[in-house]
Amino acid sequence: MQERIVITGMGTVNPLGLSVKESWENAIAGRSGVGPITLFDSSPLQVHIAAEAKDFNPEDFMDAKEARRRDRFEQFAIAAARQALTQSGLEITEKNAGRIGVIISSAIGGLQSLQDATLTNYKEGPRRVSPFLIPMLMANGGAGMAAIEFGVKGPCFSVASACASGADGIGAALMMLRTGMIDAAITGASEATITSTGVAAFDRVGAMSRRNDDYSTTPQPFDRNRDGLVMGEGAAVLVLERESSAKARGAEIFAELAGYGATADAFHVTAPHEHGEGGAAAMLMALSSAEANADELGYINAHGTGTMLNDQAETRAVKAAFGDLAYKLPISSTKSMTGHMMGATGALEAIFCVQVVREGILPPTINYETPDPECDLDYVPNEARAAKVSLAISNAFGFGGHNAVLAVRKYP
């Protein structure tokens, strides 16, 4: 039997809060993080709402000088990683630094920095472009900056697989821990795409809700009247360790990261496979990786974006994977509250799965009003629900047909 990989630290910055505790309390209360965009003037656009990480001050987590040299997504990454490391109590020394990995992913990287530099280049010329632009925009910036910040010298990289990036990065860390390549990992994802370019681009794809005057009712995952996703931002980071290492240093263990599955639809650049075949295969792969049977599963944190195509395809994927059992499985979309944090979504939702197995309560899918005949499963509508869950999975499905699923088991 393979050694357990356990979670000893968690940190997050997201639209529901600037810590795991605050975020979880708001999720269980069914509070929405959606509101009018304040990060830029959205008046030229058709979308004026987003889920921002409100009241975030990077100087609460890092030196002011360094904060100015980092894109917002990198600031989020450092903040979440610092929280996770502090909670874990993992001390990084010259002796163990090379045995610790940093895998903090991002689908897009420093979009605001790239946008600003492009405008500067055209308006003021190339000599006015910041010499810090490259480290601010590169998608591996969160991982690289975290390694520098905390003195970690093991494997360091970022995974870019659209909205599956966070889950895929955590899965990669799990695999490296299982093979003995490293003893611990600081892993998760960060994203800051609430910019005029980011919002305009996703709106042009036809993916965004335009319910600007009634933003408290959107997004509506799995609801018949859903009209698209709401863009979110933030970061979530986990500290993973081999069980023997965590026990040896007396660490508190919050849950086991038990399994990981990943597939590709090979179908369409933005749309999921209509029958959910890739998603179904990834869910079953995650259970196999966890050495678990389907009847052990007690909860699914859905990708649940609130777009017409995603929610139908994911519902079909759950049915394809679990048959009649699908109708007994509670499923919720926490994106109904956080918005869609793009590459960072899978990492935050993995943390929510940890909280589910620890505390025995399921976060709701808010804004659920009108059932859709094509989406006929149990979506934990509008109110949190008590439930004993020993095994939960988190789905992360991304543009390009990327499917990544993480399995979290109650510990011990």
Last residue of a domain, one of 224, 248, 272: 248
- Give pLDDT, residue 400: 87
Q: Cβ contacts of residue 102 below 8 Å, gap of 6+?
A: 81, 143, 146, 147, 150, 152, 154, 155, 156, 157, 185, 186, 187
Number of domains into which the chain is organized: 2
Residue 342 is assigned to a structural domain of this protein: yes
Last residue of a domain, one of 195, 225, 248: 248
Q: What is the domain-level CATH number for residue 146?
A: 3.40.47.10
Last residue of a domain, one of 221, 248, 275: 248
pLDDT in tens, 61-118: 999 999 999 999 999 999 999 999 999 999 999 999 999 999 999 999 999 999 999 9
pTM: 0.97
- Give pLDDT, residue 82: 98
Half-sphere exposure of 23 (CA within 13 A, CB side): 29
Q: Which residues are catalytic?
A: 163, 303, 340
Q: Cβ contacts of residue 308 below 8 Å, gap of 6+?
A: 226
Do both 12 and 127 map to the same domain?
A: yes
Do both 201 and 330 map to the same domain?
A: no
Do both 402 and 267 map to the same domain?
A: yes
Residue 370 is assigned to a structural domain of this protein: yes
Range of the domain at 305: 261-409
Residue 253 is assigned to a structural domain of this protein: no
Instruction: Report the chain's mean pLDDT, rounded to a whole number.
Output: 97
Could you tell me the end-to-end alpha-carbon distance of the chain, in angstroms, rounded to an integer? 16
Residue 190 is assigned to a structural domain of this protein: yes
Residue 234 is assigned to a structural domain of this protein: yes
Q: Give CA–CA dist 199/89, Å, rounded.
A: 38
Do both 276 and 191 map to the same domain?
A: no
Do both 224 and 279 map to the same domain?
A: no
Do both 64 and 194 map to the same domain?
A: yes
| Local confidence band at 268 (pLDDT 50, 70, 90 cut-offs) | confident
Do both 214 and 241 map to the same domain?
A: yes
How far CA 317 is from CA of 144, 149, 321, 342, 344, in Å, comes to 36, 41, 6, 20, 22
Do both 324 and 284 map to the same domain?
A: yes
Residue 392 is assigned to a structural domain of this protein: yes
Residue 280 is assigned to a structural domain of this protein: yes
Q: Beta strand 385-386 with 391-398: parallel, antiparallel or unpaired? A: unpaired
Average pLDDT over residues 22-51: 98
Residue 255 is assigned to a structural domain of this protein: no
Do both 92 and 241 map to the same domain?
A: yes
CB-CB neighbours of 327 under 10 Å: 12
pLDDT in tens, 206-227: 999 999 999 999 999 999 999 9
